[in-house]
Amino acid sequence: MKVALLMGSDSDYPRLEPCVKTLRELELECEVRVLSAHRTPGPLIEFVRAAPQRGIGVFICAAGGAAHLAGVVAAHTDRPVLGIPMDNPPLNGLDALLSTVQMPGGVPVAALGTGPGGPVNAALFAARVLALEDERLSARLAAYRERQAESVAARDAALQGKLRG
């Protein structure tokens, strides 16, 4: 199955590149679109309604400010929806975080953190959902985790070397 990464504006994209990179690293196919809950509500809903026919299993929705993208998508699908609150000024993401996380009961959105961890974790979370029905993806996730642990161990060894002078 595929992932859809939707964003409210192309101005969000530079901070979402780590999400795309992580999805690619896990060999997950992804449709990446600029679709806004406020500026293009009609095309957004058309996209969401047609998405299952194209094999989209999980939606990742990134938006800043009054971030309604994930909530509107969740209102039009039964597939899992992950929300990335973008850390835009002047409130630096607190506005988007609250808009994304405070959904009414009955319309679930899984909110990621604001800041650089959110886009990467959204990709990994989407992969974990799809890996429930995909053993090869599950193995790729295990390998990703292994590489991550090796990288931390290498950085620890480098730090120990530096501290010894």
Q: Which is nearer to ligand RP5, 111 or 131 (CB)?
A: 111
130 binds ligand RP5 (CB under 6 A): no
Q: Which is nearer to ligand RP5, 60 or 137 (CB)?
A: 60
- Name which position in 71, 84, 88, 129 contacts ligand RP5 (CB under 6 A): 88
97 binds ligand RP5 (CB under 6 A): no
Site for ligand RP5 in 12-31 (CB under 6 A): 12
What is the DSSP code (8-state) at residue 52?
Answer: G
Q: Is 149 exposed, middle or buried (0-12, 13-18, 19+ CB in 10 A)?
A: exposed
40 binds ligand RP5 (CB under 6 A): no
9 binds ligand RP5 (CB under 6 A): yes
Phi/psi of residue 77, nearest 5 degrees: -150, 160
- Spatial contact of 17 and 24, defined as CB atoms under 8 Å apart: no
Sheet with 110-111: strands ordered across = 30-34, 2-7, 56-64, 81-86, 110-111
Chain positions contacting ligand RP5, by CB under 6 A: 7-9, 11-12, 36, 63-65, 86, 88
